[in-house]
């Protein structure tokens, strides 16, 4: 194929799923083309995911009707996690980036007001990953608000509202807050994830009938193929895409060094420059503005403890053995 012919044949597309090196790419008109990476891109993919769910790509159509990804457009955001390389079987340091979803413009982290009680340490991990990713809007969805007193729920999540996170209060059972949630999702590429038992599937079904079942079927197909990543995009009838991102359930933070972590906590970052020492870790160092603010209650205790826990985790991950 000549150079001019190749250029004319390129189609713009969106990667909607990835299974063991095969990428389903949606092109104009909604057609899905199964593609592989061109050889030169496959070489680059050894250290990171060159193409991933959410990527905008250019593809060529091969004689057998499949496609080849020729080019991946620059990303606006990258939600990643750290994974151990194949063959190490969980031993040693995570040292490879796995892109969970590219180009999401918002992330909604779903937790329950009760049954189960919200896991704030997990929420803080999600938020740190979101802040790192460059995703423009990070939101918290509090479901099952019918199971708890409104004042008690708002008190639990007040620290997050205080530092600027938008919170949507919903009840899938009573269909409370669903119109607002639907409007938030309309026309966006959204990460929508949370721990098990929080009613995410029920929320999806009231947003769009059968949506929860579609998302579960996508995940089940991926699990059956034993993929290294099982994210996928599901098209919404209201416009936009929902990223099913089960990789977040075992989220090991990627490319965040211990001394950078404080920059991803919104209420901690502005205080760092006031610490006595430039390399303050905010544990028990003298003159630590962060620890002092936590002691005064200006930083929520749960958030401060989450920071300390994640900091120790990152220090262990970066330790030289």
pLDDT digits (tens, 9 = 90+) for 200-225: 999 999 999 999 878 777 666 555 44
Domain hosting 299: range is 258-318
Angle subtended at Cα 251 by Cα 155 and Cα 283, rounded to the nearest 5 degrees = 60
pLDDT digits (tens, 9 = 90+) for 56-82: 999 999 999 999 999 999 999 999 988
On whether both 224 and 97 belong to a single domain, the answer is yes
Rounded to an integer, what distance in angstroms lies between the CA atom of residue 8 and that of residue 4? 6
- Determine the angle formed by the axes of helices 289-296 and 301-318, rounding to 10 degrees: 150
Note the pTM of the prediction, 2 decimals.
Answer: 0.89
On whether both 277 and 237 belong to a single domain, the answer is no
Check residues 94 and 264 and name the one with the higher pLDDT: 264
pLDDT digits (tens, 9 = 90+) for 18-58: 888 899 999 999 999 999 999 878 777 666 789 999 999 99
Q: What is the CATH number of the domain that holds 44?
A: 2.40.50.140
| pLDDT above 50: residue 88 | no
On whether both 18 and 119 belong to a single domain, the answer is no
Q: What is the CATH number of the domain that holds 230?
A: 3.40.50.300
Tell me the backbone φ, ψ of residue 93, rounded to 5 degrees.
Answer: -85, 145
On whether both 178 and 210 belong to a single domain, the answer is yes
pLDDT digits (tens, 9 = 90+) for 151-189: 999 999 999 999 999 999 999 999 999 999 999 999 999
On whether both 231 and 263 belong to a single domain, the answer is no
pLDDT digits (tens, 9 = 90+) for 132-148: 999 999 999 999 999 99
Domain boundary among 39, 74, 109: 74
Q: What is the CATH number of the domain that holds 283?
A: 1.10.40.50
On whether both 218 and 84 belong to a single domain, the answer is yes
On whether both 158 and 269 belong to a single domain, the answer is no
Rounded to an integer, what distance in angstroms lies between the CA atom of residue 106 and that of residue 139? 8
Using CA atoms, how far residue 296 sits from 263, 266, 291, 293, in Å, is 20, 17, 9, 5
Domain total in the chain: 3
Report yes or no: 114 and 147 within 8 Å, Cβ to Cβ.
Answer: yes
On whether both 188 and 147 belong to a single domain, the answer is yes
Work out the mean pLDDT of the chain and round it to a whole number: 88
Check residues 98 and 175 and name the one with the higher pLDDT: 175
On whether both 96 and 67 belong to a single domain, the answer is no
On whether both 107 and 41 belong to a single domain, the answer is no
On whether both 230 and 309 belong to a single domain, the answer is no
Rounded to an integer, what distance in angstroms lies between the CA atom of residue 281 and that of residue 262? 8
């Amino acid at each position: 194929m000549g150079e001019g012919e190749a250029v004319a044949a390129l189609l713009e597309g969106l990667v909607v799923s990835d299974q063991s090196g095969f990428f389903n790419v949606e092109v104009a008109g909604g057609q899905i083309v199964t593609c592989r990476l061109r050889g030169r891109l496959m070489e680059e993919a050894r250290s990171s995911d060159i193409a991933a769910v959410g990527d905008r790509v250019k593809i060529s159509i091969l004689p057998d009707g499949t496609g080849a990804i020729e080019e991946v457009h620059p990303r606006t955001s990258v939600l990643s996690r750290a994974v151990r390389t194949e063959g190490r079987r969980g031993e040693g340091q995570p040292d490879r980036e796995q892109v969970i979803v590219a180009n999401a413009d918002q992330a909604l982290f779903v937790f329950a007001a009760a049954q189960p009680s919200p896991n704030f340490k997990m929420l803080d991990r999600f938020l740190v990953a979101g802040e790192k990713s460059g995703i423009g809007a990070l939101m918290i969805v509090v479901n099952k608000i019918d199971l708890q007193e409104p004042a008690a729920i708002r008190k639990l999540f007040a620290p997050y509202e205080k530092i600027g996170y938008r919170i949507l209060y919903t009840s899938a059972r009573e269909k409370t807050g669903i119109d607002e949630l639907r409007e938030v999702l309309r026309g966006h590429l959204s990460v929508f994830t949370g721990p098990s038992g929080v009613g995410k599937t029920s929320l999806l079904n009231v947003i769009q009938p059968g949506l929860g079942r579609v998302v579960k079927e996508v995940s089940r197909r991926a699990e059956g193929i034993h993929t290294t990543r099982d994210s996928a995009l599901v098209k919404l009838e209201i416009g936009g895409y929902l990223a099913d991102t089960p990789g977040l359930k075992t989220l090991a933070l990627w490319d965040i060094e211990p001394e950078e972590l404080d920059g991803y906590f919104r209420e901690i970052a502005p205080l760092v420059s006031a610490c006595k020492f430039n390399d303050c870790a905010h544990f028990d160092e003298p003159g630590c503005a962060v620890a002092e603010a936590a002691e005064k209650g200006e930083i929520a205790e749960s958030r401060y403890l989450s920071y300390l826990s994640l900091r120790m985790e990152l220090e262990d991950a970066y330790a030289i053995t």
